[in-house]
Structure 1
Amino acid sequence: MLVLSRRAGESIAIGDDVTITVLDVRGDVVRIGIDAPRSVAVHRTEVLVQVEASNKAAASPDDDVVSSLSQALRKPADEAEAGDEDDRPTA
């Protein structure tokens, strides 16, 4: 990790098209501005972590939900097989 000290109004260039500027420093709060192309994703880390956790939770259903869905999908197949045996012609 590169650690730099900057004062209000000073900037840091990242590559050819990203500039981070220190806008204001008040106590333990630093306001920064980021100038980057729209193709570069810029997110606050705490928000990104929360979104990732939410996406994982949404993509991972409870075991009870999976079990009931599995039973619901098997039930019509079991009923169809039972119906097939009754429809067989007798010799």
Structure 2
Amino acid sequence: MLVLTRKIGETIQIGDQIEVTVLSVQGDQIKLGINAPKDIEIHRKEIYLTIQESNNEAASINKNILDQMKNTNFRP
């Protein structure tokens, strides 16, 4: 893990397309601004993990349905 120290208003560049700027610090909270292309999804980690879990559940359900359809010789 890379650890950097930044002051309010200072920026970190990630690759060619992503900038992270420290906007404010209040107590134990830091407000960050992120500039990135619209096609790059940005989520808080807990939200990202919830999305991944939901996607895995959906994929699992779809596989089970396909297996059931195969076992019953389903023809559309």
Matched residue, 1:89 = none
Runs of at least 5 residues in structure 2 that lack an aligned partner in the other structure: none
CA RMSD across the alignment: 2.3
CA distance in 2, matches of 1:59, 1:15: 32
Structure with bigger gyration radius: 1
Runs of at least 5 residues in structure 1 that lack an aligned partner in the other structure: 75-91
Give the total of aligned pairs. 69
TM-score (norm 2): 0.71
Structure with greater helix share of residues:
1
**What pairs with 1:1-91 in structure 2 (closer than 5 Å)?**
1-61=1-61, 69=68, 73=72
Q: Residues 60-81 of structure 1: CA distance to partner in whole angstroms, max 9, x if unpaired? A: 23xxx86xx56x826xxxxxxx
The alpha-carbon deviation at position 36 of structure 1 amounts to 1.1
Q: Residues 22-56 of structure 1: CA distance to partner in whole angstroms, max 9, x if unpaired? A: 01111111110001112322222111100111121
SS in 2 for 1:40: coil
**Runs of 4+ deviating beyond 6 Å:** none
CA distance in 2, matches of 1:38, 1:52: 20
Indicate the structure whose relative CO is greater, using CA pairs within 8 Å and at least 6 residues apart. 2
Structure with greater strand share of residues:
2
